[in-house]
Structure 1
Amino acid sequence: MTNPAPQPPSQHNKLTKAKLLRRSLFLTLGAAFMAVGLEIFLVPNNIIDGGIVGISIIASHLSHVPLGIFLLLLNLPFLFLGYKQIGKTFALSTLYAVAVMSLGTYLLHPIPPITIDPLLAAVFGGIVLGIGVGMVIRSGGSLDGTEIVAILLSKKSAFSVGEIVMFFNFFILGSAGFVFGWDRAMYSLIAYYIAFKMIDITIEGFDESKAVWIISENAEVIGDAIMHRLGRGVTYLNGEGGFTGGAKKVIFCVITRLEEAKLKSIVEERDPAAFLAVGNIHDVKGGRFKKKDIH
């Protein structure tokens, strides 16, 4: 009996391999950015980050043990928790990213810092760190065990993930004052805040979607202008005023962050008294969100 001719790999397998390669690439780049931010900017200037990374920097400074060893060892217990409670893919992605980050800090340690100005180090270190962490999170991993603990605790408490992480970091960043001096603790807060903002931008992108609600007597005029000048579709909703009881027409649409200023000017030009509410949204699917060509 002859063996059947080998079949070409399915499109599904190709897509799976492509996604895996893309994930691995961005996990590697993100972890490398993190290592650069730590060893080229923050650590030489005695500035720390929050979470396990901050604890590792303090422990490395006090013990003179390489930073990468603490980054790996202190994250391992949380990776075990992540594997048990969150999932295999997340845990393996995190393990890979942490390993690359730890190796990166070891290789970059002999390289002198770009700047010894603590403010410049805090600003640019925070930017590089935020980009790196954002890339890793966007690729389905993490670089800090406290995030895993926060995710698990948030499921059993009334606190959000962000509130729990902030609680941990309050003590970690505060401890930097006793180890490195209070001026370095304040620079650490600057770096942490900048990194936090850069994580948001990296995850959501500059094209982050925003939901818009507009209540106006000139709803159709404004809606037509949004469709023709922004190329965005609008939906008209029928509402009722809570105080007056009168009928109201509500415009709903979804735009990007970069279009927000233009939309506000459109509304201001046509009805300065219009009610306008803008909110961030994290995911848009279906419908006609894709922008139409404007001629």
Structure 2
Amino acid sequence: MGLKVIMNIIGGLIAAYGLESVLIPNSVSDGGITGLSIVGSKTFGLPLGVLIAVLNIPFVYLGYKQIGKSFAILSVTGIASLAVGTVVMHHVPTIIDGDTLLVTVVGGIILGLGMGLSLRNGGALDGIDMLAVLLSRKLPFGTSDLILFLNIFVFIVVSTVFGLQGAVLSAIAYFIASKVIHIVEEGLSGSKTFKIITSEPETMVETIRDRLGRGATLNKVQGAYSKDSFYEITCVINRLEERKMKDIIQEIDPNSFITVYDVTEVKGGNFQKRDIH
């Protein structure tokens, strides 16, 4: 818990730096409750940090009731860090000025790094993030996809203060941030599950073991209409091994039926690679 609290604090400070040193000075907003707070700060002249803290209170309560105490505590830590960070860093030098392409790319990367770090460590820096985490448990969508969808409505509000161009730039920056969140949450390499229906199961399994050092499971399956019997091989590999796996399948059984799934996390079992020679 202690390490997760520290990582949420760091995530909040990174996001605050992205806002104050890149996005806000160039009239580009964030999404979510932070984006609405920026709009409120510009419109009414209220301190950004105060608005971030106050507007997130209902969502922290929602997170506490629906997701759990630890999630709420970690989120409060991250949001407090973000709020304080925007106050402390309000006068930091602007590292990019005027170049809209660099503003959206660099700002989105810094923002996504901070938000992703918080999500990966069990918290969230924004009420929209909490709502997305809750909805991801009930809907077949990832957290980053839901965050992006919910922010469409936020950017409509942003356009009333920053104009259409500012809203579009904000949306682009947040799109980049969502991709960085995905990378931070799942890692650069990731894993993939291959399901292979083949008439050459033994040769396929042996070749995968010999060339990739990976084990596999084997199940007998039957076509619903043809009633023909086949074997289905299931194998989890590192994303970097995908091309080699496809080459093996093409070599052994070009007519095999293949489905490939992205895997967020792999634990237990015998996922460790064997030595290959």
- Compute the TM-score of the two structures, normalised by the length of structure 2: 0.89
The residue number in structure 2 matching 1:223 is 205
Shift of 1:147: 3.1
> Which amino acid counterpart does residue 116 of structure 2 have in structure 1?
G
2:216 counterpart (231, 234, 252): 234
When Rg is computed on C-alpha atoms for both structures, the one with the higher figure is: 1
Q: Does residue 25 of structure 2 align to residue 44 of structure 1? A: yes
Shift of 1:83: 2.6
Question: For structure 1, which segment, 163-172 or 103-112, has the greater mean C-alpha deviation from structure 2 after superposition?
Answer: 163-172
User: Which whole-Å CA distance do the structure 2 matches of 1:159 and 1:281 have between them?
Assistant: 14
> Which amino acid counterpart does residue 179 of structure 2 have in structure 1?
K
User: Which whole-Å CA distance do the structure 1 matches of 2:229 and 2:139 have between them?
Assistant: 39
C-alpha contact (below 8 Å) 1:207/1:257 kept by paired residues = yes
The residue number in structure 2 matching 1:276 is 258
User: Which whole-Å CA distance do the structure 1 matches of 2:238 and 2:135 have between them?
Assistant: 33
Q: Does residue 92 of structure 2 align to residue 92 of structure 1? A: no
The residue number in structure 2 matching 1:173 is 155
- How many residues of Structure 1 are paired with residues of Structure 2 in the alignment? 275
Q: Does residue 8 of structure 2 align to residue 27 of structure 1? A: yes
User: Which whole-Å CA distance do the structure 2 matches of 1:197 and 1:165 have between them?
Assistant: 11
The residue number in structure 1 matching 2:101 is 119
The residue number in structure 2 matching 1:256 is 238
User: Which whole-Å CA distance do the structure 2 matches of 1:190 and 1:269 have between them?
Assistant: 42
For the structure 1 residues 197 and 273, does the alpha-carbon distance in structure 2 shift closer, same or farther, using more than 3 Å as the test? same
> What SS does structure 1 have at the residue aligned with 2:226?
coil
Shift of 1:165: 4.5
- Aligned Cα root-mean-square deviation (Å): 2.3
The residue number in structure 2 matching 1:11 is none
> Which amino acid counterpart does residue 113 of structure 1 have in structure 2?
T
> Which amino acid counterpart does residue 59 of structure 1 have in structure 2?
G
- Compute the TM-score of the two structures, normalised by the length of structure 1: 0.84
C-alpha contact (below 8 Å) 1:206/1:258 kept by paired residues = no
Shift of 1:152: 5.4
Shift of 1:69: 1.7
The residue number in structure 2 matching 1:130 is 112
Q: Which runs of 4+ in 1 moved over 6 A?
A: 157-161
> Which amino acid counterpart does residue 169 of structure 1 have in structure 2?
N
Question: For structure 1, which segment, 214-223 or 86-95, has the greater mean C-alpha deviation from structure 2 after superposition?
Answer: 214-223
> What SS does structure 2 have at the residue aligned with 1:119?
helix
User: Which whole-Å CA distance do the structure 1 matches of 2:4 and 2:148 have between them?
Assistant: 28
Shift of 1:171: 1.4
Shift of 1:203: 0.9
Q: Which runs of 5+ in 2 are unaligned?
A: none
C-alpha contact (below 8 Å) 2:186/2:265 kept by paired residues = no
> What SS does structure 1 have at the residue aligned with 2:232?
strand
Q: Does residue 56 of structure 2 align to residue 75 of structure 1? A: yes
For the structure 1 residues 153 and 242, does the alpha-carbon distance in structure 2 shift closer, same or farther, using more than 3 Å as the test? closer
User: Which whole-Å CA distance do the structure 2 matches of 1:253 and 1:153 have between them?
Assistant: 30
Question: For structure 1, which segment, 257-266 or 196-205, has the greater mean C-alpha deviation from structure 2 after superposition?
Answer: 257-266
> Which amino acid counterpart does residue 208 of structure 1 have in structure 2?
G
| Percent of pairs with identical residues | 42
> Which amino acid counterpart does residue 277 of structure 1 have in structure 2?
T
The residue number in structure 1 matching 2:170 is 188
User: Which whole-Å CA distance do the structure 1 matches of 2:215 and 2:108 have between them?
Assistant: 38
Shift of 1:73: 1.5
> Which amino acid counterpart does residue 27 of structure 2 have in structure 1?
N
> What SS does structure 1 have at the residue aligned with 2:151?
helix
C-alpha contact (below 8 Å) 2:36/2:158 kept by paired residues = no
Shift of 1:167: 5.1
Shift of 1:85: 3.5
C-alpha contact (below 8 Å) 1:147/1:161 kept by paired residues = no
Shift of 1:201: 1.1
